[in-house]
Structure 1
Amino acid sequence: MSESTTADIIAELGFQAEIAQLQAIIDGWVDRASREVRSALEWQFQARSKYFRPLTVFSCHRAVWNAPIPEATIRSAAVLEMMHNVSLVIDDILDESDERRGKATLHRKFGLLPALMASGYIVAEGFAMSAEDPHDIRLFADLLKRLGVAECAQWRLRRQPLGVEDWQEIASEDTGSMFETCACLATRDDRLRKFGHLLGVLYHGCDDVGDVKGLESLGGGGEEDLRDGILTLPASLAIRDPEISALFCKPQPSEEDLSRISLAMQAQLPAAEQHLDQIAAEAKWEAHLHAPGDPGLLLTLVDHTRELSRR
C-alpha cells in the first residue's frame, strides 16, 4: 500500500488530525528514549505505518458514540501501534527477513541483540504509558500473551496436513487478537470485540493472499512462509490435494517441491478470495448489529481491508 493510498484512507475516514496526534506521541517518545536504543527506535518507527490498527480504534469509537476521539484513546492507539511494532520485529527475526517494505529490518540493520532489547524497551514503555489505566493494561497484557502463544503454535504446526479451520484458529489468535484489542480499547467493553476479531482474521487472510500474488502492500513474507511450511490460507486450501500435502509436509522440500506448492497455492486463490468475502460479510453484519453511532465507518474499514489482497 503506497503512502498516498494510506493518506486517502485516513482522509476518507476523517481521522487526519487524530493520526497526526498519534504520530506526535510516538515521535515524542522516541526523542525522549535512551540514547542507547534511540537509533534503533528511530529506524523502526521512521517509516510511516499504514495505521490500520489505530484507524480501527478510532472507527470503533466513532461507530459507538459518534463523538470526538478523546486524547486518552489516541494515546491507547499509539501504545497499540508500539506493541504492533514489537510483533513485527519478532516476526522478522523468526522469518530471517532482510527487508520489510523496502528497508532493512531492525535486526539486519542493528543486529539481533539490539533488536530484541529494543523490543523489550518498547513493551516496557507501552505499559509505562498506560500505567494509570488498568483497563488498557489488562488488554495489552492479554494481547501480548495471545500473540506469544499464537507464534509458538504457528511454528509448532508447521508442515502439518491441516485445513482451513486450523488456519482460522491460528489467524484468530494472531492478527485477530490484535484487532480485538483495537475494538476493546475504543469502546472500553466487548460490544465490538467480535467485529474486531473478524476484521483481524480478514486482514490476516488478505495478507496471505497478497503474499502469493507477490503484493508489497502488506509487508508480509510469502517466500519465507512457503520455505518454513507456515499454514497460510492458500496453503490450507492447496494441501487438500494429497500430493501437495505430502510435499508441504516434507522436512526439507526441494526448490522443485516449493515451486509445485506455490503453483498449487496460486490455483487456490479464487477459493481463498471467496473465503475472505464470507469473513468480510460476517464483519459487516457485526458492525450493523453493534454500532449504534456510525456503522458506516466500520463498513468502509472492512471494504478497505478486503481490497488489500486485490491490489
Structure 2
Amino acid sequence: MLFDVEILKKIDEELKKYVDKNDELYNASKHLLFAGGKRLRPYLTVITYNLKKDNMEEILPAAAAVELIHNYTLIHDDIMDNDDERRGKPTVHVVYGEPIAILAGDLLYAKAFEAVSNIKDSKKAHDVLKILSKACVEVCEGQAMDMKFENYNPTMEEYLEMIRKKTGALLEASVEIGAIMADCSEEEKTALKEYAKRIGLTFQIQDDVLDLIGDKNKIGKPVGSDIREGKKTIIVIHALKTLDEEKKRRLLEILGNKNIGEEEIKEAIEILKPSIEYAKELMKIKTEEAKNYLKIFDEERRKVLEDLADFIISRIH
C-alpha cells in the first residue's frame, strides 16, 4: 500500500490538537480538514524526512503546519471560485456562510504558525518558517495569475509559472521542510527541490486531465467544469496552439460558456483529445525526471518517494 496508515493516523492525531474545540468557528475549520483529503503534503514532509531520520515526534508539527496551510487555501479558493462542492461534500461557505468560512480559513492559517512554533529545534523552526511563508506568498501570486488568465489566453510559459506557484509551491515546501528537519546536505536539498518541482507540475496537469476524463463521483465535481468556467489549462493552451482554425473557433465558442449542456462539453472534450494525450506524455517525462533526482539517496528509503511520483499521474481523483 502506497500510503502508510500509521503515518496518516499520526498526522491526523497531530492535526486534531490544533482544532480541538467544539464551536461554530472550529467546526467550520474542521469541515474540510477531516473530509477525506489525501494528506499528500504532510505525507511528503514525513517521507522526505524519513530518507535520513525516523523520529516521528520531531517531524509531526512541521507536517501539520503544511496541511493546515493547504486547507486554509482550499476554503478561500472555494469562496473565490464560488464552488459548492469539494471532496463530495458541500463547501465550508455553503454550510457555514461566507464570513465564518473566511474566519475558519484564517484560523487554520494562524494555527499553521502555531504548529511551527512547536518545532523543538529553534534554528529548524526558523528555517521552516521562511520556507512556509515564501510558499504562502507564491500560492497567492499563483492564484492572482490564474484569475488574470480569465481575461486573456496565457502562453505556455505563463501557465507553467502559474501552476508552479499556485499548486507547486506548497508541494515544494512540503519536501523542503522534510529535508530541513532531516538535516539534509545542500546537494540533497537541491535534488529534492527539483523532484518536488516536477511532481507539483504533474499534480496540476493530472487535475486538468481528470476534469475532462475523470469520474464525477471520484473527483467530487462535475466532469468538464473547467470547460464551463473557461479555465486556460495546459490542455487548452496546447489545443489553441495546434488546432486547425475550424476546431479552434468551435472550442472558443464552447469555452467559458456557462449555459452549455452535456453535449457541447462532450464535443469540446473530443476536440481536446490530442492535447490530453500531449499532457499525459508530458507527465510521464516529468515523473521520470523527478525520480532521477532521487538517485543520490538510499535505494530502499527513496522508493516511497518514487512510488508517490508514479501515484500522482495514475490517481483517479
Classify the TM-score, shorter chain: 0.7 to 0.9
- Could you list the runs of 5+ residues in structure 2 that have no partner in the other structure? 181-185
Structure 1, 97-106 or 244-253: larger mean CA deviation: 244-253
Distance 2:246 2:131 in 1: 43
Q: What is the TM-score when the length of structure 2 is the normalising length?
A: 0.84
Residue 98 of structure 1, CA deviation = 1.1
Amino acid at match of 1:211: D
The structure-2 alpha-carbon separation of the partners of 1:225 and 1:102, relative to structure 1 and needing over 3 Å to count, comes to: same
The structure-2 alpha-carbon separation of the partners of 1:219 and 1:282, relative to structure 1 and needing over 3 Å to count, comes to: farther
Q: Which residue of 2 aligns with 1:236?
A: 237
Residue 158 of structure 1, CA deviation = 2.1
Amino acid at match of 1:87: T
Out of 159, 165, 183, which is 1:167 matched to? Answer: 159
Write out aligned runs for 1:275-294 (5 A): 275-288=282-295, 290-292=296-298, 294=301
Residue 249 of structure 1, CA deviation = 8.2
CA deviations over 1:10-59 (Å, ceiling 9, x no partner)? 1xxxx3332212101112221147x3412212322231321111221122
Q: Which residue of 2 aligns with 1:261?
A: 268
Distance 2:81 2:108 in 1: 20
- Could you list the runs of 5+ residues in structure 1 that have no partner in the other structure? 1-7
Name the SS for the 1:230 alignment partner.
coil
Contact 1:98 1:108 in 2 (8 A): yes
Distance 1:130 1:115 in 2: 23
Contact 1:76 1:130 in 2 (8 A): yes
Does 2:31 match 1:43?
yes
Out of 98, 103, 128, which is 1:136 matched to? Answer: 128
Distance 1:146 1:152 in 2: 10
Residue 220 of structure 1, CA deviation = 6.4
Q: Which residue of 2 aligns with 1:204?
A: 204
The structure-2 alpha-carbon separation of the partners of 1:123 and 1:258, relative to structure 1 and needing over 3 Å to count, comes to: farther
Contact 2:227 2:254 in 1 (8 A): no
Out of 63, 87, 98, which is 2:84 matched to? Answer: 98
Q: Could you say what the CA RMSD is over the residues aligned between the two structures, in angstroms?
A: 2.6
Name the SS for the 1:158 alignment partner.
helix
Distance 1:37 1:223 in 2: 33
Distance 1:220 1:286 in 2: 34
Q: What is the TM-score when the length of structure 1 is the normalising length?
A: 0.85
Distance 2:87 2:24 in 1: 25
Identity of aligned residues (%): 20
Residue 219 of structure 1, CA deviation = 4.8
Structure 1, 200-209 or 181-190: larger mean CA deviation: 181-190
How many pairs align?
295
Out of 53, 58, 61, which is 2:49 matched to? Answer: 61
Out of 232, 247, 252, which is 1:248 matched to? Answer: 252
CA deviations over 1:163-219 (Å, ceiling 9, x no partner)? 443332222112111111011110116331111111111111111111111335455
Structure 1, 104-113 or 86-95: larger mean CA deviation: 86-95
Amino acid at match of 1:279: K
Q: Which residue of 1 aligns with 2:93?
A: 107
Q: Which residue of 1 aligns with 2:16?
A: 27
Amino acid at match of 1:187: A
CA deviations over 1:111-166 (Å, ceiling 9, x no partner)? 11111111111111111221351112111111110000000001101253334433
The structure-2 alpha-carbon separation of the partners of 1:269 and 1:245, relative to structure 1 and needing over 3 Å to count, comes to: same
The structure-2 alpha-carbon separation of the partners of 1:220 and 1:267, relative to structure 1 and needing over 3 Å to count, comes to: farther
